[in-house]
Amino acid sequence: MAYLNENYLNVKESYLFSEIAKRVSSFTEANPDKKVIRMGIGDVTLPLEPLVIEALHRAVDEMGNAATFRGYGPEQGYAFLREAIQQYYSRGGVSLDMDEIFVSDGAKSDLGNITDLFSIENVALIPDPVYPVYVDTNIMSGRKIVYMNANAENGFLPMPDDRVHGDMIYLCSPNNPTGAVYNKQQLKAWVDYANAHEAIILFDAAYESFIGDDSLPRSIFQIEGAKTCAIEFCSLSKTAGFTGTRCGYTVVPKQLKKKTCDGKELYMNKMWNRRQTTKFNGVPYIIQKGAAAVFSVEGMKQAHEMIAYYKQNAKIIADALSEKGIKFFGGVHSPYIWMECPKGMLSWDFFDYLLSKAAVVGTPGAGFGVNGEGFFRLTSFGNRENTMEAMERIKKLL
């Protein structure tokens, strides 16, 4: 008799975005004449940059010609893309071996699949509020989760606490949903903590390209000691609008080694390589060619134009909130604005208020965890006109 994984009984249904969709749809039915502006979901709206489009077309042509056709590629990614990523890190002062870089179909997949490499005995230390994938994937494999409080007092940047035990530490900076960014001293404290406790930091850097201040770390590997305690997950989703094009990369340092419960040592780079070659067949050649274009000098320039556009939206949101004296986090080195709900409203109440009175949709903070209550996430990924109109409506309302 085949038995199923009982941990799936403990995974909660993900109601957040379906509940939002339901309430928005009731509103539009009742108010067909109102123009609803959506600032809830973290999905990009600008098209792929011209250089990527050109590279994709060229790669499609190659696939249609026997002489240039590509069959199975290396599961870890083609050398041309891994080299381009290696050079990108190098420009940021981080030296990586090419085989420390694994190309993937996105950070979400790798953040989920990395749990394969760990014993179920570990405790996952996860901030609250949080991107739900860290929580759900650990519940699915039956691991204990300990939450760390991220709140207004610590600027939504929880720091290590020797009284709290964690083996797999999830950090996301710039943070989703709060937009908060760790500085180098703060990340160094985490790296030191992880090394001292032989813990692993799973560092989600999906929003690194929004950092506009060179003194802030874009990669955990800019911190001394990180190569013995950290794995980094990156993505082109927000850097170059690849949410529907799907390409990311994960860095697993070769010196990163840990023990099994019975004391045998394993290198995590080798384990991840074995996992990926066994359970993954690599990213489409066409998509890898598009991704490589992003990392060229001109490609990165075009990507930064898109990022600047979204950051200008973020500034419009931030300025409007400042004007109304509303406290918020993020919005500078991040596409997310994490605002306090006005007048002490609960986050779902503010959601309903904003939707009914201003026809603007955001994400209630409570959907990201207990500490999200009383907060509200707005995203800057919309178009300029809608963003401006939404903020005018909000200013008038509040």
By beta-carbon proximity to its own copies, the closer residue of 70 and 324 is: 70
236 is in an annotated binding site: yes
Among residues 121, 112, 105, the alpha carbon closest in space to that of 282 is found at 105
176 is in an annotated binding site: yes
By beta-carbon proximity to its own copies, the closer residue of 11 and 152 is: 11
42 is in an annotated binding site: yes
108 is in an annotated binding site: yes
246 is in an annotated binding site: yes
Shortest distance (Å) from residue 277 CB to its own copies? 7
79 is in an annotated binding site: no
Buried b (16+ CB within 10 A) or exposed e, 23-61: bbeebeeeeeeeebbbbbbbebeeebbebbeebbeebee
Shortest distance (Å) from residue 112 CB to its own copies? 3
By beta-carbon proximity to its own copies, the closer residue of 1 and 30 is: 1
CA distance 376 to 178: 9
CA distance 26 to 24: 6
Note whether 100 and 240 are within 8 A (CB): no
Buried b (16+ CB within 10 A) or exposed e, 242-265: bbebbbbbbbbbeebebeeeeeee
By beta-carbon proximity to its own copies, the closer residue of 66 and 297 is: 66
3-class DSSP state of 273: helix
By beta-carbon proximity to its own copies, the closer residue of 46 and 152 is: 46
218 is in an annotated binding site: no
By beta-carbon proximity to its own copies, the closer residue of 144 and 395 is: 144
DSSP 8-class letter at 219 = S
Q: How far is CA 388 from CA 24, 109, 305, 351, 363, in A?
A: 20, 34, 19, 19, 18
Phi, psi dihedrals of residue 235, rounded to the nearest 5°: -155, 150
By beta-carbon proximity to its own copies, the closer residue of 227 and 358 is: 227
CA distance 281 to 102: 12
Shortest distance (Å) from residue 259 CB to its own copies? 6
Shortest distance (Å) from residue 344 CB to its own copies? 33
131 is in an annotated binding site: yes
Shortest distance (Å) from residue 325 CB to its own copies? 33
Q: How far is CA 41 from CA 81, 112, 286, 336, in A?
A: 29, 20, 27, 10
Sign of the CA dihedral running 172, 176, 180, 181:
positive
By beta-carbon proximity to its own copies, the closer residue of 154 and 296 is: 296
3-class DSSP state of 199: coil
88 is in an annotated binding site: no
Shortest distance (Å) from residue 133 CB to its own copies? 6
Shortest distance (Å) from residue 109 CB to its own copies? 6
Phi, psi dihedrals of residue 138, rounded to the nearest 5°: -75, -30
Number of Cβ atoms within 10 Å of the Cβ of 183: 13
Shortest distance (Å) from residue 181 CB to its own copies? 24
3-class DSSP state of 54: helix
**Residues contributing to the annotated binding site:** 15, 42, 72, 107-108, 131, 176, 207, 235-237, 246, 281, 377
**Binding-site annotation: residue ranges for substrate:** 15, 42, 108, 131, 176, 281, 377
Q: Which residues are annotated as part of the binding site for pyridoxal 5'-phosphate? A: 72, 107-108, 131, 176, 207, 235-237, 246, 281
